[in-house]
Structure 1
Amino acid sequence: MGTFKIEGGIQLKGEITPQGAKNEALQILCAVLLTPEKVTITNIPDIIDVNKLIKLLGNLGVKIEKLAHGAYTFQADEVNLAYLESEGFKEEGKSLRGSIMIVGPLLARFGKGYIPKPGGDKIGRRRLDTHFEGFINLGAKFRYNREDYFYGVEADRLKGTYMLLDEASVTGTANIIMAAVLAEGKTTIYNAACEPYLQQLCKMLNSMGAKITGVGSNLIEIEGVEKLGGCEHRILPDMIEIGSWIGLAAMTRSEITIKNVSWDNLGVIPNTFRKLGITLERRGDDIYIPAHEDGYEIQNYIDGSILTIADAPWPGFTPDLLSIVLVVATQARGSVLVHQKMFESRLFFVDRLIDMGAKIILCDPHRATVIGHDFKSQLKGIMMSSPDIRAGISLLIAALSAKGTSTIQNIDQIDRGYERIDERLLALGAKITRED
C-alpha cells in the first residue's frame, strides 16, 4: 500500500481541469456489451476502478484499442460467456462494485448474466435488490449461490413491463435500462434515478438506436428494439472531483480556476458550497475561486436556525460530496449539521479530523455537527489511513490545510477515484510526495 506525505499550510494557485466522471464511465463502459459494433469513448478517467472494469471487459473477450489518453474503442463481437463462470471472474468481479452493471447488458443480449457479490467502498450496506427485482420484472429467473456469494439471472427473451422502483438507485436504474432497451415491448420505470450521468447513458443508448424517452425525469419509458449499433461518446467532467477542488481551494485559501466544468450539469453543487460562505464565480464554463483571505461564513436558515446539508437523489445534493462539505466546515465561521442519509459508515472518518483538532460532534452514524474554527486554530498534521475514496480525498484536503506534516496510508483508495492526484496538486504548488 502506498502513502502520501504532505506538508500543509501552503497556499496554492493555478488552473485545474477535472477528469472524466468515474460514475458515468462505469455505466458507459458496461453498455458496450449491448452491441457487436465498435464503440468509441473519450474522456475516460485513468483511475483504478475504471481500469479494473476495462480489464474485466477484455477478459470477457471485448476487443479494446487505446487511441490516446482517455480515448478507447471497444468491440464486443466475440464475447466469451464461459468466462462468467470461471474462478478468475469470481475474483475479479467482486473487487469492483461497478461490475454489477455488466449484468443488464449481458442478460439483454445473451440471455444470461452472472456476478459475484461486488466489493467497493466500506461505507455501509449497498444492497442489490433494485437491480435484480428489475430483471425479474422483465421476465428473468434469479438464482443465488450462498456458498460463494454468486448471483445469476437468465431469460430466453426479456419482456417490457411497468415497474415502480423501491429506491431511486443510480446503478440499479442504469442496469435496468440497459436490460430493457433490447426487451420485447414497452418498459416504464417510475422512481427512476435521473442524475446527469444516467442521462448521458440514455443519450448514448439512443445514439446506438435505442428508444428511450423521459430522460432527465424520474419516469423513463423504453420501447425495446431488436439490436443496437456502434457510436461515439464523450464522458462528462467529474462533478465529485469539481466539488473536491472547490473544497480544496477554500480550505487552503487558494486562488484556483477549475476549467471546463459543464456548469449546466452541476445542479445544486455550486449553491451548496455558497451556503458554506465560499465565493464562486462563473467565467464561461469555468469556476473561479478567489483566495479566501478573510475566511468564509456558513449561512443560517432565514429563521436563524443552524444550516443542515443532507444528501438526496438528484437533483438533490450528492452523497459523494458530504465528506468534502464536512471537512470544509471545520475552518468556517459558524456551525453546520451534516446529515448522511444513504450510508451508515461514511462519517466514521471524522475521528481522524478530531485528532487533527477539528471540532466535530458525531451525533450518530448518519449525522455530525461541525463547529468551525474560522482559521483561528489550524488543524495539525498527523498519520492517518484512507478508509474509502471520498473520505480519503477529504483527509487529503485537511492535510493540505494543516500545520506540519501529515502521512496518509492506504492511498489506493484515493487512486480508485482520482487521477494522478499528487501530480496535479504539485502543479498547483502543493508539497506532496508519494511513497510506494
Structure 2
Amino acid sequence: MDRFEVTGGKKLSGSIIPQGAKNEALQILCAVLLTPEEVRIENIPDILDVNLLIELLGDIGVKINRIDRHTAVFKADDINIDYLNSIEFRNKSGRLRGSVMLAGPLLARFKTAYIPKPGGDKIGRRRLDTHIIGFEKLGTRFEYHPEDGFFHLDASQLKGCYMLLDEPSVTGTANILMAAVMAKGETTIYNAACEPYLQQLCKMLNRMGAKIRGIGSNLLTIEGVDYLGGTEHSMLPDMIEVGSFIGLAAMTQSQIEIKGAGIEHLGIIPEKFRQLGIQMEFRGDDILIPEQEVYEIQSFLDGSVLTISDHPWPGFTPDLLSIVLVVATQAKGSVLIHQKMFESRLFFVDKLIDMGAQIILCDPHRAAVIGHGREQKLRGITMSSPDIRAGVSLLIAALSAEGKSIIQNIEQIDRGYQYIDTRLKALGADIKRI
C-alpha cells in the first residue's frame, strides 16, 4: 500500500486550482441513469470514489465515452438490471457510500433497485433510514436480505406525496429527489438539504425536463414527468479543497492563491477561517491567502472561548472541521471543535497529540484545542490516514511540522483529492509517494 513521505517546515508559494466537487460528482453521475439520452459532464474530479462510481455505471450497462480524465459522455440506453443483484455489484457498491444514490434514479426509471450496506469512511454510523422512508412514502416496498446484505426495493408505480424528512440529509434528499422527478403527481420535500451541490443537481434535472421548484431552499416541490432528456453539466469547484488550501497556507506560513474558488458558493466557510485569524483577499473568483507569521483565534463578543461546530447548509460543513482543528493547533488562542454529525471523526487527534499539539478530546464529538501560537512546532511522526478529511488534515500537519513524517493508508486521501502530491509539489512541498 502506498504512503506519503513528507519533510515539513518548508514555506510554499504559487497558485492552485481546486478540483471539481467530489460530493456533487457522486450525485450528478447517478442522475445519468434517468435518461436514455447522452449526458455530457465536465470538471469531473479524477479521484478513487468518483472513478469507482463511473466503473459501476459501466458495469450496469451505461455507455461511457471518457474524452479525458475530467470530461465524459454517458448514455444509459441499455441497462442490465440483473447485474444489480450480483455478488460483483454488491462487492463494488459496498465499498462506496455514494453508490446508495443509484437507487433513486433506478426506481424512477426501472421500478427496482438494490442498496448495499453503506461503505466509504470509517467515521461512525451512517443511517439509510431517510432514504428508505422517503422511498416508502413514494410507494416503494422494501425488504432487507441479511444473506446478501442488500435492501431490495420495488415500485410498480411511484406516486407523489408530501414528506417531512427527519434530517436534512444531502444524499437522502438527492436520492428521493431523483426518484420523485418521474413519480405520478406532485411531491413536496420539507426539511430538504439545500447545499450548493444539491442545487446543482436540481438545475441539471430541470434542464433534462424535470419540474423542480424551491431550489436553494429547504422546501422542494417536484411535479413528476414521464421522460427526461440529455443535457450538459459542469461541476462546481470543490469547497472542501478550497478550505483545505486555506488551512494549508496558514499552517505553512505561505502565500497561496486559489484560482477559480467558486466564492459565491462557499457560504460561511471563509468567515470560519477568518475567526481563526486567517487573512484572505478576494480577487474576482480567486482567493489570495497572504503569508502570516501568527494568526489569532477570535473570541465571542462576551469574551468566551470560540466554538466552531458543524451544521446543515448554510451552516459550516462537517467535512472541514478536521482541517479547522489542525489549523487551530498553531494559532494563538483556544477553540472548542464540536463535531455533531459523526461520532468517530475526531479520533485522529491522537496523532496530532503525538506530534506535539495541545488538544483535549472531551468526548467523541468535542475537542478543545489550545493553540501554540507557533511557540512549539509540531514534529514529524509515522501515522495512518483514517478517512479522507482526517488524512488531508494530517498531511497539512506534516507539511508544517519539523522533520520527516510518514502517512500510511493514503488510499483514503486519494479517494477525495486528485493528484494531491503532484499539486503540492508544484507549490514547493517536499512530498514523495512511496
TM (norm. structure 1) is 0.99
SS of the equivalent of 2:188 reads strand
Offset from partner CA, 1:316-344 (integer Å, 9 cap, x none): 00000000000000000000000000000
- Distance, in Å, in 2 between the alignment partners of 1:352 and 1:70 is 34
- Is 1:156 the counterpart of 2:189 in the alignment? no
CA shift at 1:152, angstroms?
1.5
- Is 1:67 the counterpart of 2:67 in the alignment? yes
Q: Which residue of 2 aligns with 1:315?
A: 314
Structure 2 contact 118–126 (Cα < 8 Å) conserved = no
- Is 1:142 the counterpart of 2:142 in the alignment? yes
Q: Which residue of 2 aligns with 1:121?
A: 121
- Distance, in Å, in 2 between the alignment partners of 1:261 and 1:250 is 17
Task: List aligned pairs for 1:211-222, cutoff 5 A.
Answer: 211-222=211-222
Report the residue type matching 2:385 in the other structure: S
SS of the equivalent of 2:372 reads coil
Task: List aligned pairs for 1:15-26, cutoff 5 A.
Answer: 15-26=15-26
SS of the equivalent of 2:335 reads strand
CA shift at 1:148, angstroms?
2.5
CA shift at 1:79, angstroms?
0.4
Report the residue type matching 2:287 in the other structure: I
Q: Which residue of 2 aligns with 1:199?
A: 199
Report the residue type matching 2:72 in the other structure: Y
Report the residue type matching 2:354 in the other structure: D
- Is 1:327 the counterpart of 2:337 in the alignment? no
- Distance, in Å, in 1 between the alignment partners of 2:155 and 2:396 is 48
Q: Which residue of 1 aligns with 2:30?
A: 30
CA shift at 1:153, angstroms?
1.0
- Distance, in Å, in 1 between the alignment partners of 2:183 and 2:113 is 15
Offset from partner CA, 1:238-268 (integer Å, 9 cap, x none): 0000000000000000000000011110000
CA shift at 1:150, angstroms?
0.7
CA shift at 1:116, angstroms?
1.5
SS of the equivalent of 1:59 reads helix
- Distance, in Å, in 2 between the alignment partners of 1:65 and 1:305 is 56
Structure 1 contact 62–76 (Cα < 8 Å) conserved = yes
Report the residue type matching 1:317 in the other structure: F
RMSD of aligned C-alpha atoms? 0.5
Which stretch of structure 1 is more off in the superposition, 145-154 or 226-235? 145-154
- Is 1:40 the counterpart of 2:76 in the alignment? no
SS of the equivalent of 1:204 reads helix
Task: List aligned pairs for 1:179-328, cutoff 5 A.
Answer: 179-293=179-293, 295-328=294-327
- Distance, in Å, in 2 between the alignment partners of 1:148 and 1:77 is 28
CA shift at 1:57, angstroms?
0.1
- Distance, in Å, in 2 between the alignment partners of 1:275 and 1:269 is 10
- Distance, in Å, in 1 between the alignment partners of 2:416 and 2:122 is 14
SS of the equivalent of 1:426 reads helix
CA shift at 1:69, angstroms?
3.0
Q: Which residue of 2 aligns with 1:56?
A: 56
CA shift at 1:303, angstroms?
0.3
Offset from partner CA, 1:170-201 (integer Å, 9 cap, x none): 00000000000000000000000000000000
Offset from partner CA, 1:75-128 (integer Å, 9 cap, x none): 000000010011111111101000000000000100001122121000000000
Q: Which residue of 1 aligns with 2:88?
A: 88
- Distance, in Å, in 2 between the alignment partners of 1:269 and 1:155 is 40
Q: Which residue of 2 aligns with 1:409?
A: 408
- Distance, in Å, in 2 between the alignment partners of 1:345 and 1:190 is 29
Q: Which residue of 1 aligns with 2:399?
A: 400
- Distance, in Å, in 2 between the alignment partners of 1:407 and 1:69 is 29
Offset from partner CA, 1:391-430 (integer Å, 9 cap, x none): 0000000000000000000000000000000000000000
Which stretch of structure 1 is more off in the superposition, 398-407 or 111-120? 111-120
Offset from partner CA, 1:352-378 (integer Å, 9 cap, x none): 000000000000000000000001100
Count matched residues.
434
Structure 1 contact 20–43 (Cα < 8 Å) conserved = yes
Structure 1 contact 109–182 (Cα < 8 Å) conserved = yes
Which stretch of structure 1 is more off in the superposition, 62-71 or 169-178? 62-71
Q: Which residue of 1 aligns with 2:167?
A: 167
- Distance, in Å, in 2 between the alignment partners of 1:130 and 1:179 is 13
- Distance, in Å, in 2 between the alignment partners of 1:168 and 1:119 is 20
- Distance, in Å, in 1 between the alignment partners of 2:185 and 2:400 is 56
CA shift at 1:35, angstroms?
0.2
SS of the equivalent of 1:305 reads coil
SS of the equivalent of 1:334 reads strand
SS of the equivalent of 1:278 reads coil
Structure 1 contact 84–115 (Cα < 8 Å) conserved = no
Report the residue type matching 1:427 in the other structure: A
SS of the equivalent of 2:386 reads coil
Runs of 4+ more than 6 Å apart: none
Gaps of 5+ in 2: none
SS of the equivalent of 2:332 reads coil
Report the residue type matching 2:124 in the other structure: G
- Distance, in Å, in 1 between the alignment partners of 2:409 and 2:254 is 27
Report the residue type matching 1:321 in the other structure: L
Report the residue type matching 1:319 in the other structure: P
CA shift at 1:146, angstroms?
1.7
Report the residue type matching 2:262 in the other structure: S
Offset from partner CA, 1:219-238 (integer Å, 9 cap, x none): 00000000000000000000
Q: Which residue of 2 aligns with 1:384?
A: 383
Q: Which residue of 1 aligns with 2:432?
A: 433
- Distance, in Å, in 2 between the alignment partners of 1:390 and 1:163 is 32
